[in-house]
Amino acid sequence: MQFFTFIGFTVLVAIIAYLKTRKEEVSSDGYFLGGRSLTAGVIAGSLLLTNLSTEQIVGLNGAAYQSGLSVMVWETLAAIAMIVTALFLLPKYLKGGLTTVPGFLAKRFDVTTKTLTSGLFLTGYVVVLLPVILYSGSLAISGMFDIPQLLDVTHTQSIWICVWGIGIVGSIYAIFGGLKAVAISDSINAIGLLIGGLLVPVFGLMLIGDNGSIIDGLSVLINENPEKFKSMGGPTDPVPFYTIFTGMMLVQLFYWGTNQQIIQRALGAKNLKEGQKGLLLASFIKILGPIIVVLPGLIAFHLFQGNLESADSAYPMLVKEVLPDAWVGFFAAVLFGAILSSFNSVLNSCVTLFGIDIYKQHINKEADEKTVIKYGKMFGIILAFLAMFIAPLIANAESLFDYLQEINGIYSIPILTIIIVGYLTKRVPAIAAKVGLVSGCLLYIISQFFLKDYFIDKAMDAAAVSNITDLAQLALIEAQAYPHFLDVMAILFILNIIIMLIIGKLYPTEHDFVHDYTKQVDITPWKYTKLAGGTICAIVIGIYIYFA
């Protein structure tokens, strides 16, 4: 029954997406941006589903299992970043008629800068993001259906089977359907994910509470685990509170404001008003995100008394423990939809970046739209296969979520830096952007993968000499031995800006850069944008004060 429910819901979503898109004209705007016809509800649903996948659901709940409520910052601060994007970045993007974020860099700096940025995006996506999505999704699906026992295979073999199954289905959505097929399937799955995602903590609290009471279960959870319900993380937590004011906001601005995988949804808006409403609707719903990606981890800590071998197993174990059998097939289908959403959205962005920023720009400048799409799809197939081969090889990562965030810093901050400098200055030259990209990547790699280990090893050796054996004290020493990776991002962000401004002062361009208006879409803003954004910000601040 569980298997038939899973297959039925998955096929239903695919049929609806096909029927909605089969008569769409094949054009670059139609394929890459959904014909610039996306409305607020579709944009919001697609944004949330693109973001919310198993690496987030499993990884962030695992972090909550370990460190408590403080990890909710990944959700709550995202709401503020989306508001900033709606107010300041999206109007500029739509005014310039952008299809890709690197497309702006070609206008502001030069084609080489755009190509370097597209290459960074593509490298990060295929080496890190796509494999993590595939692996974490396979881990969840394999565990939910107990694939090793079902097919009489080993755990490793079950991961390979699931990786290739998810990869092939996701590739079909992204490569052959384009953004509109992705966005429509996302919107349908968004409803299912919200329902299924809410059921897990609801049944968990009912199990904890007397006589199945949700309120009593929440009261027991808070009263018996007060140390887990603090909004402000300490120095040994994954996200210390002070990092909100250093690198955390930069990471969120990059992700929600400049990351091609995400912002492509808003670039496909039929007008600025719909784009802003979509971002703000997603921002408001994002505040409720901790109910799905944090609260289950806290419930798992209470139920299993912190005795699980791996924090990343907390969510799958909780699902098995609390969900009635009748719901397992539905929830697996919804989770599968979330996995596909993230995978096919990233893959569609890769096809877009390659087709427009590399193939059309450098390989065949005379190519028509059908040719660009054709070779973009071929490139997408190659990337999908590469990701499917890489995915099972990352099984030894200690924490998928932390691994993903830290590795992403290699390209996220350099790209964010040159985009911000590009928009806020008029005469900083292209060479400054190239230096900013290269220096940002190299300095981050040196900092996080060479210097960090050196200083931590040195501090731990000193602790051993001093005969320090207390685990809490050792954890504090390790945390203080080297700046948090979010602090490193903030330092390098400021350093890169200074480098670019100095180059701009010494070698300014001959003329001021002027932002053009292509008039492809109406850029009349939604009149309630500032009011809605201010209200959401106030709610976020209130949440932090309440749980402080």
Q: Is pLDDT above 50 for 27?
A: no
Domains in the chain, please, with CATH? 2-547 (1.20.1730.10)
Residues 6+ apart with CB under 8 A from 538: none
User: Looking at the predicted structure, is the pLDDT value of residue 181 above 50?
Assistant: yes
Whether the per-residue pLDDT at 30 is higher than 50: the answer is: no
- Within 13 Å, how many C-alpha atoms sit on residue 340's CB side? 31
Select from 287, 445, 488, 394 the least CA-distant residue to 55. 394
Q: DSSP letter at 524?
A: P
SS3 271: strand
**pLDDT of amino acid 5:** 64
The average pLDDT across 337-351 equals 73
Q: What is the pLDDT of residues 56-92, one digit of tens each?
A: 888 888 888 988 888 898 888 999 999 999 999 888 8
Is the pLDDT reported for residue 20 higher than 80?
no
Q: What is residue 25's predicted lDDT score, i.e. its pLDDT?
A: 47
Task: Give the span between the Cα atoms of 422 and 114, in whole angstroms.
Answer: 12
**pLDDT reading at 98 higher than 80:** no
Question: What is the tens place of the pLDDT at every residue in 401-432?
Answer: 677 778 888 888 899 999 999 989 989 999 99
CB 332 within 8 A of CB 316: no
For residues 174 and 546, the model is more confident at 546
Mean pLDDT for 467-487 is: 81
Map residue 134 onto helix, strand or coil: helix
Global pTM reads 0.81
Neighbours of 437 (CB within 10 A): 22
Cβ atoms of 210 and 345 within 8 Å: the answer is no
Say how many C-beta atoms besides its own lie within 10 A of residue 34's C-beta: 27
Contact criterion met (CB below 8 Å) for 426 and 505: no
Check residue 66 and give its pLDDT.
86
SS3 assignment for 420-453:
HHHHHCCCCCHHHHHHHHHHHHHHHHHHHHHHHH
Neighbour-count burial for 332-347, b at 16+ CB within 10 Å, e otherwise: bbbbbbbbbbbbbbbb
If you average pLDDT over every residue of the chain, what do you get?
Answer: 81
For residues 38 and 265, the answer to whether their CB atoms sit within 8 Å is yes
Question: Mean of the pLDDT values across residues 280-293?
Answer: 89
Angle, CA 49 vertex, CA 199 and CA 87 arms, to 5°? 120
Q: What is the CA radius of gyration of the chain?
A: 23
Q: How far apart are CA 300 and CA 217, in angstroms?
A: 13
Q: Is the pLDDT of residue 47 over 70?
A: yes
Rounded to an integer, what distance in angstroms lies between the CA atom of residue 46 and that of residue 340? Answer: 12
Selection from 258, 267, 286 nearest residue 52 by Cα: 286
